[in-house]
Amino acid sequence: MQNSDAMPAGSAPDPANQRAYRDALGRYATGVVVVTAREADGGGPLGITVNSFASVSLDPPLVLWSAARSSVRHAHFTKATAFAVHVLGADQANLAARFSRNGTDFSGLAFTLNEFGVPLLPDALARFECATETLHEGGDHTIILGRVSRYSVGHDGPPLVFTHGRYAQISVS
């Protein structure tokens, strides 16, 4: 007896055709964050939109995120000794889009710098200030593990999520 709702036979990931694999991964909804740091050469503020953020440990307090090696910002974030993760709200898709296109566009943002020179953005749902703990190579990404030194809880509201290749909103009750 065959169930009409059964999943089809699986496919092996194919490096020559990554679209199908990406589409399958896109079925998993993720939160959206902006990670900020200073440029590696001591330059200006830098940001990147990420959906590969996760909590790792409560004791010690550790989080991780992944930086694509193909990103021009990769070298800056993998050399950074400190960074901040900003959890975005549903109304902040424009901020996510800004830092997915251009990592140095802080124009018009009322950000501050913490004691390590890391830019802190206003109005996030939550923020985690971190010291870089370790880096791990993970295929075409570098996994950046950070030890949380300080966190802040901002305004309440639904988070910005990413699913099926686009930003989405969920209701929180």
| SS3 labels along 87-113 | ECEHHHHHHHHHHHHCCCCCCCCCCEE
Whether the Cβ atoms of residue 87 and residue 126 lie closer than 8 Å to each other: yes
Q: Which of 82, 132, 72 is nearest to 102 (CA)?
A: 72
Q: What is the pLDDT of residue 4?
A: 60
Structure confidence at residue 66 as a pLDDT band (50, 70, 90): very high
How far apart CA 63 and CA 108 sit, in angstroms, is 29
Structure confidence at residue 43 as a pLDDT band (50, 70, 90): confident
Give yes or no for residue 33 having a pLDDT over 60.
Answer: yes
Render the burial of 20-47: b for 16+ CB within 10 Å, e for the rest. Answer: eeeeeeeeeebbbbbbbbbbeeeeebbb
Q: What is the pLDDT of residue 10?
A: 83
Q: What is the pLDDT of residue 17?
A: 80
120-135 per-position pLDDT tens digit = 999 999 999 999 999 9
Please state whether beta strands 62-68 and 126-138 pair in parallel, antiparallel, or not at all (unpaired). unpaired
140-151 per-position pLDDT tens digit = 999 999 999 999
What average pLDDT does the segment 11-32 reach?
84
How far apart CA 1 and CA 114 sit, in angstroms, is 62
